[in-house]
Amino acid sequence: MALRHNGKTAIVTGASSGIGRATAKRLAADGANVVVADIDENGGQETVQQIESKGGEAIFVEVDVTDEWDVEAMVETARETYGGLDIAHNNAGIEGTNDPLTEQSLEEWQQVLDINLTGVWLAMKHELPVLTEGDGGAIVNTSSIAGLAADGSAPYTASKHGVVGLTKAAAVRYADEGVRVNAVCPGVVRTPMVERSLEEHPDAVEAMTDDQPLGRMAEPEEIAETVAWLASDESSFVNGHALPVEGGKLA
């Protein structure tokens, strides 16, 4: 059976760990050449090594998604190394603090918005021209269930709602140029971000899952499978959709 992403080129931001690493590995296993992009060089290089150990193709690019020059260079590296771009998973993000809105600083607000929302906008700004040069392609942005309902702090929730709106705007605008744009909206996933929270609050697992019908956290690989599907021809009529992957919590 042919690999569903064979010969395609993909960029994955935030690929040094968690959902980004799992997605980079899934796309590579499906035959894609993967640009592993992250501000964390050590983690990013480890992702590349894990891909290469399984016979996949990947390179690491250090990128700060809030820096337009970095983002532009990331996309240009994909073009120069692999000849173009077919898939982008704009995944880099932070959780910020969980303090009440009235106790958060402007700097805390701005940092979350800069990385989670402006970073996705900058990535699409530079990915879309390359995607539309060829036969089109697919973008999958990482939002959250906090992009569909209030969940977590105000900056995080606002940023993830923004990703959903940005995804829909781009999906409508670029559909006739052969690019589909969707968002994945994970619930609680066992990532380093969540593990950090559990270190501070070890009893939080039950609180995180008690209103979740499947009664557990997701694994990063489960989100990666969804991203890989949204980026594939198997989802060829899915566009402008914010897909919850949260075990039924929103139901």
Active site residues: 156
Q: Of 93-97, 105-109, 197-201, 247-251, where does mean pLDDT reach its minimum?
A: 197-201
Q: What tokens does 202 get? A: 């070890």
Walk me through the domains of the chain, giving residue ranges and CATH numbers.
9-187+222-239 (3.40.50.720)
Q: Tens of pLDDT along 53-74?
A: 999 999 999 999 999 999 999 9
Neighbours of 128 (CB within 10 A): 21
Decide: residue 34, CB within 10 A, 0-12 exposed, 13-18 middle, 19+ buried: buried
Q: Tens of pLDDT along 118-151?
A: 999 999 999 999 999 988 999 999 999 999 998 7
Helices 119-133, 154-174: axis angle to 10 degrees equals 20
For 45, 59, 65, 89, 192, the CA distances from 118, given in Å and listed in that order, are: 25, 24, 8, 15, 22
205 or 21: which leads in pLDDT: 21
Question: Model-level pTM?
Answer: 0.94
Q: For position 134, what pLDDT does the model report?
A: 82
Average pLDDT, the chain: 93
